[in-house]
Structure 1
């Protein structure tokens, strides 16, 4: 019994020590933009909401080795892409194709609310490396869903289709950015 207890303690300690906590470089600008994204309300963007618990915005965050990428999409077509270590793309939704894709993405997000859980606080954690977190901004609060990027990309997640739509939106954003540079 004593040997078994010691072995369990050693394995627990090894497991604890081997887990690497992601310490992203997070710029002050990113913190501010991210905070603003989570404080958006339908009233702030003059968006009429017809249904109770309707999604009016989605924040999809992906953890990479050196940074987090945050996609912000609102029901009015507003689209932005922020990088935790600085930089990003703002005002993408002013262009026709990204705006249409953003509206579609945000509307489609309503179908995935049953798979989410409501956030209990206003402290929205950043994803770990290889993790994706969807934050659904709704008229009843903020809901979330997290999964590994690999699961989402390999259609092993309940939100895989929404993940693919988000990446179509990111592609549209990059096309606009490339065209403007």
Structure 2
């Protein structure tokens, strides 16, 4: 678990560094930058809202069952701010940091796409433990929100970070899987 925390801290540090750097680095996973936005404007909430509003049809998945999980949006409270990990059944994945940084495009690598599609497919096992929500909220300090996207709507569950890390939560395995996704995003963002 120590390495998971170190990995998350490293990602936040990288995101902070990238969000403060004017120099553009065109790596295989690109820094989040919305068209028409200046580097001083933070795209986090807009990118987060776009992820939550993504429909199965937009991903090319029009024929999946209404209760099939086609995406998982995991949000972790980080002191300060938060990190949002987007994972879709299609293999697309991104990481957004509330500091304004982040990475998109790691899913363009075939090995990441395959790994991610398998993981999102297994996320279905957790759907029955989540409750349907109208509006996703940011995680409170010390918590992680797991948000499952289906055609029927968004289902969410909030877990204590300490319980997830220690293995005391029934969602600890899911938390490990999300951290594996973060690791792949980080590795692919370094070229």
- Any conservation in 1 of the 2:148–2:154 contact (CA below 8 Å)? yes
- Any conservation in 1 of the 2:42–2:99 contact (CA below 8 Å)? no
Greater C-alpha Rg: 1
C-alpha separation in 1, matches of 2:50 and 2:79: 25
SS for the counterpart of 1:168 is helix
**Which structure is richer in relative contact order (CA contacts within 8 A, separation 6 or more)?**
2
TM norm structure 2: 0.75
SS for the counterpart of 2:55 is coil
Any gaps of 5 or more consecutive residues in structure 2? 1-40
SS for the counterpart of 2:74 is strand
Match of 2:170 among 140, 144, 158: 158
Where do residues 48-127 of structure 1 align in structure 2 (5 Å cutoff)? 48-119=62-133, 121-122=134-135, 124-127=136-139
Runs (4 or more) in structure 1 with deviation over 3 Å come to none
C-alpha separation in 2, matches of 1:145 and 1:49: 26
Match of 2:143 among 119, 123, 131: 131
- Any conservation in 1 of the 2:72–2:148 contact (CA below 8 Å)? yes
State the Cα distance separating 1:48 from its structure 2 match.
4.0
CA RMSD of aligned residues (A): 1.3
Any gaps of 5 or more consecutive residues in structure 1? 1-26
In structure 2, what is the equivalent of residue 42 of structure 1? 56
